[in-house]
Amino acid sequence: MPVQILITRDFEHMSEVAAGIVLQQIAAGLRTRPNFVLGLATGNTPTGMYRRLATAANADVFDPARIRTFNLDEYVGLPGRTAQDRTLHPESYGYFMIREFFGRLVRPFAATAIPGGPLVDAGALNRALDRNRRDWHEEGSDAGRSIVIHPDAKDPTLRFVRDDVLRAYARRIQSAGGIDLQILGVGGRGHVAFHEAGIPFARSRMLLVRLDEDTRRNAVADGHFATLDECPRHAVTMGAQLVYGARTVLLLANGARKTTPIARSLLQAPSPEVPISYGQRYAARGGRLIYVLDRVAAAGLLDHREALSARGFVVQEVEEPPVEPARVPPTPIHAEA
Output the DSSP codes for 158-202: HHHIIIIIIIHHHHHHHHTT--SEEEE---TTS-BTTB-TT--ST
**Whole-number pLDDT of residue 329:** 44
Q: What is the pTM of this model?
A: 0.93
Domains of the chain: 4-317 (3.40.50.1360)
Can you tell me whether residue 307 is helix, strand or coil? helix
pLDDT of residue 310 exceeding 80: yes
**Whole-number pLDDT of residue 327:** 54
By the 8 A CB rule, do 173 and 239 touch? no
**Whole-number pLDDT of residue 1:** 80
Distance of alpha carbon 132 from its chain centroid, rounded? 31
The backbone torsions φ and ψ at residue 9, rounded to the nearest 5 degrees and listed phi first, read -75, -45
- The number of beta carbons lying within 10 Å of the beta carbon of residue 7 is 22
- Mean pLDDT of the chain, nearest integer: 94
Q: How confident is the model at residue 320 (pLDDT cuts 50, 70, 90)?
A: low
Distance between CA atoms of 3 and 1, rounded to whole angstroms?
6
Distance between CA atoms of 114 and 206, rounded to whole angstroms?
12
Q: How confident is the model at residue 142 (pLDDT cuts 50, 70, 90)?
A: very high
- The number of beta carbons lying within 10 Å of the beta carbon of residue 63 is 20
Can you tell me whether residue 251 is helix, strand or coil? strand
pLDDT tens profile 95-122? 999 999 999 999 999 999 999 999 999 9
Bridge-based pairing of strands 181-184 and 314-317 is unpaired
Distance of alpha carbon 59 from its chain centroid, rounded? 26
pLDDT tens profile 254-304? 999 999 999 999 999 999 999 999 999 999 999 999 999 999 999 999 999
Q: Which residues contact 149 (CB under 8 A, 6 or more apart)?
A: 135, 136, 158, 159, 161, 162, 208
pLDDT of residue 202 exceeding 60: yes
